[in-house]
Structure 1
Amino acid sequence: MAQLTEAQKDQFWTEGVLVVEDAVTADELAQLRAVINGWIEESRQHTEDYGETLDGRKRFDLEPSHTAQQPALRRVQSPEEVSDVFAHVMRNARTVDLVAELIGPAIRFHHGKVNTKLPGAATKVKFHQDFTFQPMTNDDMITALLFVDDVTLDNGPLEVVPGSHKGPLYSLWHNGVFTGAVADEVHDAHQDRITTCIGKAGSVCLMHASLLHGSAPNLSDGPRTLYITTYYSEDAVELSPNALPSTLTHELVRGEVSGMIRCIAYEMERPEVPKDTSFFAQQENAN
């Protein structure tokens, strides 16, 4: 049975973004929250990034302002590797069917992460395009941002530039440094077109990987947590090292293997694989 209407599909391909409610069940959402709350409590015991991912970097990324009294866990890399709950949602949630309708029928999992903005933390994301971190032979690639909490105008919602996925791929390199962000003048040129993606917990924001986006700090007294999974068309192949490799990378989650490679024409600079825990440090180091 179709998960999306033709109008929703048209909106996605026109604007590069679509918010859909009830992307997970109430039980799945409750289980995700329980695991995340456990990680936040665990983070109180640490003063610096901790845990280890497949490539040797840290799994749990702490905001510089993090303390035991006011935890500021801002990212968990590849949560599917260390939580059966997250692995289940990555493979089986309604989110996956929504993505398959847009870029399938056959799709693979690329990477996953949890981004949290806890009250009082200064976590923000400068504008960028996901695709320029991870070029593929074709751009049928979707970042699915699952709202674990209600996302409001006050708690640091995703900010996007509708239609920008059809435009150029902007450089993340400035003065010889890979900053993980587009130039200020690129952001300023699109300022009047920026919109926010808000919705109730359990909704998902489906975002084309080439869409310009960022987000501001959480100014509310409640958390804003996203479980972010990236999926891509089965006939796409990576053109640079995966910045978030995991044991589940490239897992086929819908459809069948075609044995084909599909290519499109585009040009961009090679991305730099982060040496720190995550791209937050890349953006901070560029300041």
Structure 2
Amino acid sequence: MPDTLPQGRPAHRPVVAPALLDEYRARGFVTVPGILEPALVSALKQATDRLWEAGRGLAEKTRHYDLSAGHHAGNPRIRRVSSPTELDPVFEQAAFDSVLGDIAADLIGGPVKFYHSKINFKLPGGGEEIGWHQDWPVFPHTNANLVALSVPLTPSRRANGCLRTIPGSHLGGARSHWAGGRYVLNCNESMTDEELAAAEDSEVDPGDVVAHHGLVVHGSAPNPSPDIRTTWIIQYAAADAFAYTAPVIDSRHRNRMVRGEPARHARVEAGVIELPPDFSAGYSSIYSLQTGRAG
């Protein structure tokens, strides 16, 4: 096999152990411990620091920056940087050429393409809760073979609002993310006491990667700790999964192949799809949609 595929795509090199693949398929999420090289983690942290500083002086949100109330240069309160692959080549290289692409291809089980990415900052002293939700209903595709890779850039613990996931919830299909006629971007109303009791914390460190399926139910609590929690999240899709709706986070890199060849056919899973609102004119943020606040 050649070292690279056409258009400069790296050849897929399997990296996820079979036992972890089985865990992912059965539970809908898995942690791949210590998979990232320290040099890559360091480069991602430095690039994130540069983006944070670049957003410090913003007066209002932009296409790339989502700001929390009270943000100003002396007290930056950046909640999210969308599409960092457009802002710093370190993220583009990591998303497409590093072991992250191999992890995605392993879990997708074949050719994989990039959909979007974002850096989430869970601010200290109460950084906002993310309600229970699934990714696929927010950006439905012709099939649900989507995987999100969470790359912690700071230690992620229950005490600072780490990712929480419901094991096996991906096997139950899509849930409604509407309530009372309003799109709330969470499925809190469908959650049972048994599911809440089964929720697991993903307590991880820089160098680890947490992967979750597009239909697994997940969320996170507020961050009452004094330390920020920073995570880069990359959303990948199977090559034969095609979006039905406008992207919530667009990028010039959307649908660019990561491993393998582009699909010539769409694989369509049967079923009724509850659509999100039309985001073609722009997407506010998960924070404003879940709280009902504008902005």
**Shared fold, TM over 0.5:** yes
Q: Distance in 1 between matches of 2:85 and 2:193?
A: 36
Which of 24, 32, 44 does residue 56 from structure 2 map onto?
44
Which of 28, 31, 47 does residue 35 from structure 1 map onto?
47
- Structure-2 change in CA distance of 1:286 and 1:211 (3 Å): farther
Q: Distance in 2 between matches of 1:73 and 1:187?
A: 33
Q: 5+ unaligned residues in a row in structure 1: which ranges?
A: 51-57
The residue number in structure 2 matching 1:6 is 18
Q: Distance in 2 between matches of 1:69 and 1:121?
A: 19
Does structure 1 retain, via aligned residues, the 8 Å contact 2:131–2:188?
no
Q: Structure 1 runs of 4+ off > 6 angstroms?
A: none
Q: Distance in 1 between matches of 2:54 and 2:207?
A: 24
The residue number in structure 1 matching 2:198 is 193
When structure 1 is superposed on structure 2, of 193-202 and 11-20 the one drifting more is 193-202
Does structure 2 retain, via aligned residues, the 8 Å contact 1:236–1:262?
yes
Match of 2:57, as an amino acid? Q
When structure 1 is superposed on structure 2, of 130-139 and 263-272 the one drifting more is 263-272
1:231-270 matches, within 5 Å, as 231-270=236-275
- Report percent identity of matched pairs: 28
What secondary structure, in the 3-state scheme, does the structure 2 residue paired with 1:97 have? Answer: helix
Does structure 2 retain, via aligned residues, the 8 Å contact 1:181–1:283?
yes
1:148 aligns with 2:153: yes
Offset at residue 121 of structure 1 (A): 4.6
Does structure 1 retain, via aligned residues, the 8 Å contact 2:126–2:225?
no
Q: How many residues align?
A: 280
- Structure-2 change in CA distance of 1:172 and 1:112 (3 Å): same
- Structure-2 change in CA distance of 1:172 and 1:286 (3 Å): farther
- Structure-2 change in CA distance of 1:240 and 1:185 (3 Å): closer
Does structure 2 retain, via aligned residues, the 8 Å contact 1:63–1:123?
no
Offset at residue 64 of structure 1 (A): 1.5
- Structure-2 change in CA distance of 1:273 and 1:27 (3 Å): farther
Offset at residue 67 of structure 1 (A): 3.9
When structure 1 is superposed on structure 2, of 78-87 and 217-226 the one drifting more is 217-226
- What is the Cα-based RMSD across aligned positions, in Å? 1.9
Q: Distance in 1 between matches of 2:221 and 2:143?
A: 30
Which of 156, 171, 177 does residue 172 from structure 1 map onto?
177
The residue number in structure 2 matching 1:281 is 288
Does structure 2 retain, via aligned residues, the 8 Å contact 1:141–1:208?
yes
Q: Distance in 1 between matches of 2:191 and 2:177?
A: 11
Match of 1:284, as an amino acid? T
Q: Distance in 2 between matches of 1:210 and 1:80?
A: 25
TM-score, normalized by length of structure 2? 0.89
Does structure 1 retain, via aligned residues, the 8 Å contact 2:163–2:201?
yes
Offset at residue 188 of structure 1 (A): 4.5
Which of 64, 69, 87 does residue 82 from structure 1 map onto?
87
Offset at residue 189 of structure 1 (A): 5.3
The residue number in structure 2 matching 1:55 is none
The residue number in structure 2 matching 1:53 is none
Offset at residue 180 of structure 1 (A): 0.7
Offset at residue 199 of structure 1 (A): 1.1
Q: Distance in 2 between matches of 1:252 and 1:2?
A: 17
Q: Distance in 2 between matches of 1:276 and 1:5?
A: 37
1:185-224 matches, within 5 Å, as 185-186=190-191, 188=193, 190-224=195-229
Q: 5+ unaligned residues in a row in structure 2: which ranges?
A: 1-12
Q: Distance in 2 between matches of 1:21 and 1:183?
A: 30
Q: Distance in 1 between matches of 2:269 and 2:187?
A: 23
1:34-73 matches, within 5 Å, as 34-50=46-62, 58-73=63-78
